[in-house]
């Protein structure tokens, strides 16, 4: 088996929608690793508001200035995707204790499938520690404004989807 690169990481998620917290993690991941793939999961169980293509596009619009960051999509096990790229690291953010419990369980499960793939956890910037895509969607659906939580173009897309207004 070929040795996987520990200088290249995959940051997987549904990103429905991408938040400033996600973008902060991408920025920091871009400085930590030689290459970073932001991998949008095609997870229909979560019933995403945006299609995979829309989520990929929203992220690409925000990270194009990073030469070391690519945006892709995947289906199936993240460790299979990571290995298919020859990468050796999964990058994940931890906001809360409940995040830690879930991510810890997921990291150990991933390790049981692929011992050669490591998971690296990064704490969010404090100003993004409470942001979640789910809460942002709820706020917008109730007529709230979310500047500072998502980029302005993402908020516009949320309003168009949830409220049928520009």
- Catalytic site includes residue 65: no
User: Is 95 in the active site?
Assistant: yes
**Whether 92 is catalytic:** no
Q: Which residues of 9-34 are buried (b: 16+ CB within 10 A; e: fewer)?
A: bbbbbbbbbbbbbbbbbbbbbbeebe
3-state secondary structure of 69: strand
148: left (phi > 0), else alpha (psi -120 to 50), else beta?
left
Among the listed residues 7, 46, 127, 156, the single catalytic one is: 46
Instruction: Determine the distance from the C-alpha atom of residue 119 to the mean position of all C-alpha atoms in its chain, rounded to a whole number.
Output: 14
**118-122 and 87-93: which strand pairing?**
parallel
How does DSSP classify residue 44? G
Selected catalytic residue, list 95, 111, 159, 161: 95
112 noted as active-site residue = no
Q: Which of 85, 92, 133, 157 is catalytic?
A: 133
- Cα(162)–Cα(142) distance, integer angstroms: 9
- Give the residue numbers annotated as catalytic, written as ranges: 22, 46, 95, 133
């Amino acid at each position: 088996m070929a040795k996987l690169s520990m200088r290249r990481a995959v940051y997987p998620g549904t990103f429905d929608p991408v938040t400033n917290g996600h973008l902060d993690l991408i920025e920091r991941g871009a400085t930590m690793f030689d290459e970073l793939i932001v991998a949008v999961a095609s997870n229909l169980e979560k019933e995403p508001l945006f299609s995979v293509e829309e989520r990929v596009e929203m992220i690409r619009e925000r990270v194009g200035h990073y030469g070391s960051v690519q945006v892709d999509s995947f289906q199936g096990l993240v460790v299979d995707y990571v290995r298919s790229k020859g990468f050796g690291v999964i990058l994940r953010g931890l906001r809360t204790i409940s995040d830690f419990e879930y991510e810890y369980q997921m990291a150990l499960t991933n390790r049981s499938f692929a011992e050669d793939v490591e998971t690296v956890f990064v704490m969010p910037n404090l100003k993004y520690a409470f942001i979640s895509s789910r809460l942002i969607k709820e706020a917008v659906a109730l007529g709230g404004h979310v500047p500072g939580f998502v980029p302005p173009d993402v908020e516009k897309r949320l309003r168009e989807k949830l409220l049928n207004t520009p």
